[in-house]
Amino acid sequence: MNHLTLTAGSLKKEFNRRVIFDSISFTLHEGEAFAITGRNGSGKSTLVKILCGLLSPTKGTVRVSVEGKEVNAEILFRHLGFVAPYLNMYDEFSGIENLMLFGKIRGLENNFAGDAEELLRQFNIFERRHDEVRTYSSGMKQRLKFAAALLHRPEILVMDEPTSNLDEEGIAAVRSVIAEHRRRGILIIATNEKEDVKYADAVLNLDERKLR
Amino acid sequence: MKVFSAPAIHVFLKDSHSEIRTRYALNALLMFVVTALALVLFSVGNDVVGTDVLSGILWVIIFFSGMSGLSRTFVSEEERGTTATLQLIARPTSVLLGKLFFNFVLILSLNVLVAVLYIVMINRFVILTPSIFWATIFLGSCALASSSTIIAAIIAKANTKGTLYPVLSFPIMLPLLLTVMNATRLATEGAAFSEALGEFQILVSYTVVVVTISILLFGFVWKD
């Protein structure tokens, strides 16, 4: 039995009667990486939002099971990390305050402060950890989002345009996260970057509605 | 109760720290209170106004002051684009309870401030039964916070947030406003505490019903 499974069944999404996508089904197991590609407006972000439980599908279901037990949608966030350009941090707090806040709201154990600092080091924003996020560049904000998404060591990592706003050093940090996470969980990447797609075991092209 | 444990408290603390730093709601509330009180003071002047009318005016000030600031708890998340972030780190119930508690603390502080200023500034507004008055302020704050929080969650998703909030709130809060006005009138007439028990029962029931409905429905309001 697989430790971790994510199953999307016949997903369909409509906005104002316009069908964005229809009949999307796939199953992912632990240790698999999945890429979603397609031109702008093809529904990549909509699909990842549905997979993360941020949007409801018009039809279909997303099921996550851990150790054979289905995870209630309300507590899916405990197993999931999500990075996307449209996901914002709290500007009035510093980088470290944001991470500590997220850890406490998530209900993590008290000893996550060390993990938070380690992640800030990994993404090379440790020196600016006490500065308010409003003073960060867009690339630094993107790095902080990665730190926030990885703080609770999620089994499922979903990334929408993960390398957007990042310089070469940031991209390298992200690729190491991708390489490491695909070994120990489920990785879903919505991207058009050919380099990122290479990491995927399967690719869903929303333009062709084909799974490769 | 598990849901009102650490995550809800940390949502409350996050909103409190955020409010102290940004003053999103506080400035709006205080400006409205000062302006409204000054206008009432000028318009009443030396005229002889009945205590029932003055009780009504007090709650009109509190209602519209609340309308100017209480929606911020959800609207600011939506405007800053942090709604999805919060959805990804907490259960809907924890978010609701944390924000409900934040609104309660905010509206209670505001109501105490308004009540004290009103008593000091309006000479004819004399409280003869303080126990009824302060119990009304406390229970009225609970009821106002409970209804304003769920309405704020609903209107945060709309395009016309500013105008929709008082319009949607008024019919829902009307029974509550009539009750607190009546209880305040009793406090100014020197009624015994037992005479106001009916009003207090209405306020407690209103709060319990609204909070229960909010917990049941919030998941649907919050997600899409």
* Per-residue model confidence as pLDDT tens digits over B106-136: 999 999 999 999 999 888 899 999 999 999 9
Counting the structural domains of chain A, the total is 1
Q: Give the CATH number, domain containing residue A176.
A: 3.40.50.300
Q: Are strands A59-66 and A69-70 parallel, antiparallel or unpaired?
A: antiparallel
DSSP conformational letter for A94: B
> Burial of A85 by CB count in 10 Å (0-12 exposed, 13-18 middle, 19+ buried)?
middle
Which amino acid belongs to residue A152?
H
Cβ of residue A76 closer than 8 Å to a chain B Cβ: no
Question: Could you tell me how many CB contacts below 8 A there are between chain A and chain B?
Answer: 71
**Domain coverage including residue A22:** 4-211
Q: Which of A92-96, A126-130, B96-100, B121-125 bottoms out in mean pLDDT, i.e. has the lowest?
A: B121-125
What's the pLDDT tens digit per position in A105-164? Answer: 998 877 888 999 999 999 999 999 999 999 999 999 999 999 999 999 999 999 999 988
Q: How many of the other CB atoms lie within 10 Å of CB of B199? A: 23
* Alpha carbon separation from B8 to A91, A93, A122, A144 (Å, rounded): 21, 19, 30, 23
Mean pLDDT of chain A: 91
CB-CB contact of A49 with A55 (8 Å) = yes
- Which of A77, A105, A108, A160 is the best residue to mutate to test the B interface, defined by the most B CB atoms within 10 Å of its own CB? A105
Q: What is the pLDDT of residues B128-179, one digit of tens each?
A: 999 999 999 999 999 999 999 999 999 988 877 777 888 888 899 999 999 9
> What does the alpha-carbon distance between residue B22 and residue B17 come to, in Å, rounded to a whole number?
9
CA distances from B150 to A105, A121, B61, B213 (A): 20, 40, 21, 9
Neighbours of A21 (CB within 10 A): 22
Of the candidates A56, A84, A106, the beta carbon closest to that of B223 is on A56
Q: Where in B92-139 does DSSP place strands (E)?
A: none
Pick the residue from chain A with its C-alpha nearest to B11.
A105
Q: Shortest CB distance from A104 goes to which of B10, B80, B88?
A: B10
The predicted pLDDT at position A181 comes to 87
Which two three-digit tokens encode residue A9?
A: 């069944």
